[in-house]
Amino acid sequence: MIGAPHDDALARLRAMQAADLPVHGGRTLAYVYDSGLPDIDRIGREAVAAYAGSNGLDPTAFPSLLQMENDLVGFAADLLDAPDTCVGTVTSGGTESVLLAVQGARDSRPDLARPRMVLPTTAHAAFHKAAHYFGVEAVLVPVGPDFRADPAAMAAAIDEDPDRTVLVAASAPSYAHGVVDPVTQVAAVAAARGIRCHVDACIGGWVLPYAARLGRSVPAWTFAVEGVTSISVDLHKYGYAPKGTSVLLHRTAGLRRPQYFASAAWPGYTMLNSTLQSTKSGGPLAGAWAVVQSLGDTGYELLSRETFEAVDAIVAGLADIPALSLAAAPDSTLVAIATDAGCDAFTVCDEMAARGWYVQPQMSYAGQPPTIHLSVSAATNAHVDDFLTALADSVAAAQESGPVSVDPGIAEFIGALDPATLSDEDFDGLLAAAGLVGGDAAGLDLPERMAEVNAMLDLASPAMREALLVAFLDRLARPVRQRTPERVALDAAKATTESSE
């Protein structure tokens, strides 16, 4: 073997991974989705490994990848009541699916200099990323008191400039509140004006159809709804596939066409892409294919049953913790929990982490206080009692320690800051003051308790919050330079070659 003993790197990986959130065990209630079925996991991972070197750049060179993509798109189309005209693409994730839906809508109207899209305020941040990347103005429409999109208000927003409006979106469900938008009405508004309507079912698309089969009441949101032109659904969420796959479906091939990119304007191969990536690993596609083939409708229905059992038990259990309430009754598998004034939501998150549970803090937005997000998956069902005990204990601990106090002077200062006027040095100072990085702005010393940091971020304007976190990420992402003896020798050789030139 060249280099270090060949299993040394793998042993080191395993050691490093111990610091990460666990992806198994059902105790991580965001970022990961755990079927609780070790065989399914193994099959997915073996498929990823088998295809890690295959290149999805050219489906004629790797026809098995084309086959797998068509199988997955077909499965999704069946699940989502698509007509026979439906086509689709497997992408790297929900964000890429949303990006492509927006890019396709924009490029269906090359005549427009300033395209716009109309979104409920609860639409996923991926739409804002798409607006930023593709120069499509995002027109945000406030949602109703139930956190669902307001079709009349969306219609009014479209009608301010219908010709420039290339897309209307709805969520099934929204990530932050877990409720399904009134897709029938939103799609009707779009269709009446000849505008595309994308349903972002990234997180609910693989579980809501089974919820309906289990007899739960789910408002219509699929291609069965007239006027829905595209739907995104992630396989790496409730498809329980390894990370790196989502499906973007279009009602017709014509709607998909502007998504494709080809370039023969160079001397190499003609580049022909359906996604943002060009060379792309076959691994995630194969992993998703293997998991979907193995679970099938029967498996997904069973997993959905488990997941909804857990959701129902959590909802019932919340009634016994007076400081907590539902921000909205969940339409799907996401639970948003609000806390009363005597219980700090961010502290509850820290206390849960100390008890081995990861729940996700959501900052205040548009006048709504912070909430705690849960993405419940099948593996959580076996541990719901334990979860509820941990939650009750965490609430008691948060009540005991009282609200996180941010010095009023600092609060006022942060609230008044305009990120555009701040220098790098200002950000270093602020990050240090917030406890996010050390004074020297170096190293990965992440704070153990986040409540104080979150409380401070929560006071900042959204623009300031973005700027602070970007500065934080910038400070974290710094290369590790290694002065190994081999490297020193290489550099010495370079120096000799240069001097002899």
Ligand X SMILES: *Cc1c(COP(=O)(O)O)cnc(C)c1O
Residues that bind ligand X (CB under 6 A): 93-95, 98, 124, 126, 171, 175, 200, 202-203, 234, 246
Joined together, the tokens standing for residue 54 give: 């295959």
CB nearer ligand X, residue 95 or residue 222: 95
Burial of 8 (0-12, 13-18, 19+ CB in 10 A): exposed
Q: Dump the DSSP string for 133-186.
A: HHT-EEEEE---TTS---HHHHHHHHHTSGGGEEEEEEESS-TTT-----HHHH
Joined together, the tokens standing for residue 251 give: 């009602």
Residue whose pair of structure tokens reads 């927003």 in the numeric block: 157
Report, in Å, the least distance between residue 236 CB and ligand X: 6
Report, in Å, the least distance between residue 200 CB and ligand X: 5
Report, in Å, the least distance between residue 203 CB and ligand X: 3
Report, in Å, the least distance between residue 372 CB and ligand X: 16
Report, in Å, the least distance between residue 237 CB and ligand X: 6
What value, to the nearest 5°, has the Cα angle with vertex 281 and ends 280 and 286?
125
CB nearer ligand X, residue 375 or residue 380: 375
Contacts of 297 (CB under 8 A, 6+ apart): 210
**Nearest partner of 196 among 170, 164, 226, 166, judged by Cα:** 166
Report, in Å, the least distance between residue 426 CB and ligand X: 31
CB nearer ligand X, residue 86 or residue 202: 202
Are 158 and 166 in contact by the 8 Å Cβ rule? The answer is no
**Nearest partner of 310 among 118, 26, 23, judged by Cα:** 26
CB nearer ligand X, residue 102 or residue 343: 102
Q: Dump the DSSP string for 8-65.
A: HHHHHHHHHHTTSPPSSSS-B-SS----S-HHHHHHHHHHHHHTTT-BTT-TTTSHHH
CB nearer ligand X, residue 274 or residue 394: 274
Secondary-structure breakdown of the chain: helix, strand, coil percentages, each rounded to the nearest 5: 45, 15, 40
Task: Return phi, psi of residue 249, to 5°.
Answer: -105, 140
Report, in Å, the least distance between residue 478 CB and ligand X: 24
Report, in Å, the least distance between residue 380 CB and ligand X: 17
What value, to the nearest 5°, has the Cα angle with vertex 87 and ends 81 and 89?
110
CB nearer ligand X, residue 291 or residue 395: 291
How many angstroms separate the CA atoms of 434 and 453, rounded?
Answer: 6
CB nearer ligand X, residue 32 or residue 203: 203
CB nearer ligand X, residue 121 or residue 399: 121
Report, in Å, the least distance between residue 275 CB and ligand X: 13
CB nearer ligand X, residue 124 or residue 475: 124
Residue whose pair of structure tokens reads 């998956």 in the numeric block: 377
Report, in Å, the least distance between residue 232 CB and ligand X: 7
Report, in Å, the least distance between residue 195 CB and ligand X: 20
Report, in Å, the least distance between residue 94 CB and ligand X: 2
CB nearer ligand X, residue 170 or residue 431: 170
**Nearest partner of 246 among 126, 137, 94, 388, judged by Cα:** 94
Q: In what order do the strands lie in the sheet with 334-339?
A: 324-326, 334-339, 371-375, 360-362
How many angstroms separate the CA atoms of 207 and 214, rounded?
Answer: 11
CB nearer ligand X, residue 203 or residue 337: 203
- Which residues on adjacent β-strands are paired with residue 248? 89, 232
Task: Return phi, psi of residue 151, to 5°.
Answer: -60, -40
**Nearest partner of 289 among 40, 35, 24, 36, judged by Cα:** 40
CB nearer ligand X, residue 171 or residue 281: 171
